[in-house]
Structures are given as C-alpha cells and as structure tokens.
Structure 1
C-alpha cells in the first residue's frame, strides 16, 4: 500500500464531528464509508484512479485543519494526490466561509438555536455532483432502498475497490466510466427502463461539460444546464445545485423544509413565508435551508 498525507485548511469555525454526525444519518451514502471515533475513511476516484482517504481533524474549530492520508495500491502521482485533496475539500465544504451566515443567524431568534446546535458544521455534499445527479434521478418517486440498490449496482459494475486495514471500500464511478454503459445495461442495473433512459442521456450530456463550470459558472447558466438534462426537473436541479455543487443561491421550497422550518419558527409556514425568511439570508439561503433540514 502506498500513502501520501495532505493537510487541508478549513475555514473557521469548523467541526468535523458535526459532519460525521450528519453522514451517520444520511441515507443516500449509508454504509459507503466508515467512521471510527473522529476518523472518516472513504474510497473515491481521483484523476482516474481509485484511492481511499483517511480523514481526521487537527486543531480546534477556530484554527482547524483536516489531515487526509491517501491510500493507493500503486505509487501515488502528484495529480492523483491533488485531485483527491480537491475532492475531499469540496465534499466536506472546507472552504465555505460561514461568517456572514452566522452573523445573520444569530440575529434570528428562531434560528439561533439551530445555529448553536450545528455550530461548526460545513455542509457535507454528495462525494461528487455526478453522484448527486444519479441519486436525484434514481430516487424520484422511489423508496430509498430501491434507489440505493440501483446506485450500488452502477457502482459495483466497475469494481473500484480498495482495502485499508482489512476493510474494503468501493468508490462511485467517474463520468468517463459511467458513460461507457449502454442504455440497456443501465436500465438492467437500476431495474427501470425509464430511469435507464434518463440516466443514459444525462450522463452523456454531463460528459460534455466541465465540473469547474458547474461549481463556479454563472448560477443561471448552471441551473439551465441541469434543467436541460433528461429526468431533471426544478426540484432535482435545486437539489444538485445545493447538495452536489454547494450553490446556495436559492432554498428548496419543499414539504420537508416547510416542516423543519415550521417547527423551528413555531408556526405553520407557507412557501411564501419560507421565501421571505430565506431572502434575509442571501446569499446563504441554501445554507439556512440545509441547517434546518439537518437539525430536524
């Protein structure tokens, strides 16, 4: 086994423990990583290679860093280590500066207790926005267990496995791998012809775009691209923008958020009420919504 260690800065305040607690209850990635105390171990694809990362926090919430030890079965090249570090930092939203968000939240009496409960939590995104896209399509009007079986079947098709200290981890495929699957094979793996068709079309469109554009391009253009994908409607696009890309410009006006916000604010809230409150959190509207959901 070959290893390289990188130290990644985390914008304060940061608490890896809060991220690990969120992962523990997040169904779409359940069982796909291990948590031992404050250490996270997970497989991922980096520059076309399968690696595993063992991640721990160093320092306190104000001066925290994350130490990631990258494991591979072959010598690690600089581009692989760099890609792995970028993926880990983005997955854990280490660079998110929450100072302005916290300043607004402390002045909101109903939201301040939520802020205190999750203090130092940076949004845990899907490990890749591609994985979020696949999950968004698979989980539409489908029980979580069925969607998870389809996702795992796609993952296991490529066998991107690596063992660390006797435990095996499997990485979700990258776009170059998934795009090799014919539509019929995708449908067979996920057990649904319509979703197989949607995934095949969406994956090939995704192959032609650039993740840097999705992360940093003009919000409206990125949203329009997502809405152009087969099987992606307004809800799924917003889901991917927030949970896969960390684009926090708009809150998801949905039943689960209404329920979480209504409990926090102590009264039933309509979509108009949600948007009015969220407007006060611009440009952290998505973070406000995600904190409410995570606290619930």
Structure 2
C-alpha cells in the first residue's frame, strides 16, 4: 500500500483563476458528477457550489488536490493542495489539467449558435444551462476505467475503482477532508492483483501503467493528432478496443467535437430527443451531428443527460 502520510496533511500551494469563454456553470458540472459513478467522487457539493478533487498530475504523475468554486461574475477560482511546494511548471500544468477536466480549455462562445440552428439542441441548452463535458482526471484514468469496467456492472466497477484509490492511491487533504487519487502509473505498473479484478485485467492495467509511466502520449498529444491516428494509437494498448479508445479520447483527452455514431446508447438518445419514428443508423447520425460542429461531444453529453433523466423517470414510475 502506498504511504499516504506525506500528502494527507497537504497545505495550500497556489491558486489560479479561469475566465470561461462562453456559458459555463460549475454547479451544472457538480450535478453531473454526483450521478457519474465512474468518478468514484465525494468532493462535489451542490449546496456550496464547491468542487474538490485529487488527481495525478499528467507528466510527473505527482498527486495534488484542487478546490474550485465559481464567483457570481462567472470566474472559476482554484486553490491547489500538495504535501510539498509546487514548481512553476507544475502550477501551470495543474491549471491546464483542471481546464481540460471541466472543458474550459475550449472556446464555448459559439455553442449557443448551435442551439439557434437546431431547436432540439437549443431546448437542451436551456434545460441544462452551462453544462459542458466533465472529463476523467486524465486520459490515463479514463483508460484504467475502461479496463476495470469491461464485462462488469458499472456500480461494481466504480466500487473497485474507489477501493483502488483508497488502498493504492495517495491522499490529499482538501478543506479538512482527505480525498484519494487513483493510483499513479508507477503503482499500476507494479500491480500484482486486486480484489474484483481478473488476472487479465490486472495484466492490462500493468501495461497501461507502464505506457503512462514512460510517457507514451498525453492528453494534449492525443487531442492534437488526427482522430483516426489517435484511435489507432490507443488501441495498441492491451485491452483497448474501438469503444474504449473512443471513451478515452472523448472523456479522457477531452476531444470536444466527435459524435459516437456507432454507440447504441447515443442512437437511443437521439431517437428520444428528436422524436424519431425509428432508431437512426450511423450514416443518419453522422449527417445530423454535422450541424453541431465544432461541439459534437458537447451536444452528445446533453442528449445523454436528457435520455438518462427520461429513463430514470420511467423507472421511478414503475
């Protein structure tokens, strides 16, 4: 088990501000995270509007904490926590990682125009104001989740991921509460076993940890290369197929402009939102989503949230 004593008593080590470009609501992000099991998340507080999170910093993979809130003028303010002082490059990297996690690294000033052209999207934007995709803390953690969740119920996979963080990860004290980060690549590369994981998953997680530890790629490089090339590169990781590669690129690296036209749940969400008389196929979904550019991922999230809310209403009515 990783020794967490050093960071469990972490102190504030810096602060930053982010000026969102276009509509953004931290409270909407918090409400999304509260229902997002894979995050194994306990630091979202809708009452106070504060978001606390612990994550491994891409590159050095040093564990740090961040506490975020949003002022009335829309500015997002962040405080960073760590056991030892952060270097200037680490401070910049932490801010950039928070921006990516909350999709604040994307200029959203043109997003409302998508809703003006597409009334269905416009209605969803009014229903979920300021909601942008909330990513996994890193591409690496998204990849780990995709492996942990293979052939496993989401609730069970989320519990395994949570226990891995608490038993193998590093703790950071944020506002008096200890939050646990998912184990760093160096820890995962030496994984010999863990309750709830098959031998095959352990082996795949070890390979993932080694790839991340040696810096095979990062979120920025994945975002910067042609999408097909990124998909192919990710699928070189053991256990990562097309579906997982798509999840890593969209929800890990934060690609803002891709519609998962091959995903059944996406087709179901479109069928429901657009009141279609049939389940749309990949070609129809591709044609429809072209009008959402350059925010196809953002619209996909709104459709998913609306469809999930519908399914919950149906289940509650039974």
> Is the Cα–Cα contact under 8 Å of residues 40 and 159 in structure 2 kept in the other structure?
no
- Higher deviation after alignment, 218-227 or 94-103: 94-103
Aligned equivalent of 1:118: 128
Counterpart among 120, 133, 138 of residue 128 in structure 1:
138
Compared with structure 1, are the counterparts of its residues 256 and 65 closer, same or farther at alpha carbon in structure 2 (3 Å cutoff)?
same
Counterpart among 222, 229, 232 of residue 240 in structure 2:
232
CA RMSD of aligned residues (A): 2.1
Compared with structure 1, are the counterparts of its residues 38 and 51 closer, same or farther at alpha carbon in structure 2 (3 Å cutoff)?
same
Are 1:80 and 2:90 matched, yes or no? yes
> Is the Cα–Cα contact under 8 Å of residues 22 and 110 in structure 2 kept in the other structure?
no
TM-score, normalised to structure 2, is 0.83
Give how far 1:39 is off. 0.9
Give how far 1:157 is off. 4.2
Give how far 1:264 is off. 0.9
Are 1:6 and 2:13 matched, yes or no? no
CA distance in 2, matches of 1:250, 1:8: 25
Give how far 1:113 is off. 0.8
Mapping for residues 11-22 of structure 1, pairs under 5 Å: 11-22=21-32
> Is the Cα–Cα contact under 8 Å of residues 69 and 78 in structure 2 kept in the other structure?
yes
> Is the Cα–Cα contact under 8 Å of residues 40 and 161 in structure 2 kept in the other structure?
no
Mapping for residues 158-169 of structure 1, pairs under 5 Å: 158-169=168-179
CA distance in 2, matches of 1:203, 1:72: 22
Aligned equivalent of 2:49: 38
Aligned equivalent of 2:251: 243
Aligned equivalent of 1:192: 198
Aligned equivalent of 1:286: 297
Structure 1: tracts of 5 or more residues without a match = none
> Is the Cα–Cα contact under 8 Å of residues 185 and 208 in structure 2 kept in the other structure?
no
CA distance in 1, matches of 2:131, 2:270: 18
> Is the Cα–Cα contact under 8 Å of residues 238 and 250 in structure 1 kept in the other structure?
no
Structure 2: tracts of 5 or more residues without a match = 1-10, 308-318
Are 1:260 and 2:266 matched, yes or no? no
CA distance in 2, matches of 1:240, 1:25: 19
> Is the Cα–Cα contact under 8 Å of residues 44 and 50 in structure 1 kept in the other structure?
yes
CA distance in 2, matches of 1:198, 1:295: 34
For residues 59-84 of structure 1, what are the alpha-carbon distances to aligned partners after superposition, in whole Å with 9 as ceiling and x for unaligned? 43xxx221101122333332332222
Give how far 1:189 is off. 4.5
CA distance in 1, matches of 2:162, 2:54: 14
Aligned equivalent of 1:154: 164
- Number of matched residues? 289
CA distance in 2, matches of 1:111, 1:70: 35
CA distance in 2, matches of 1:157, 1:26: 21
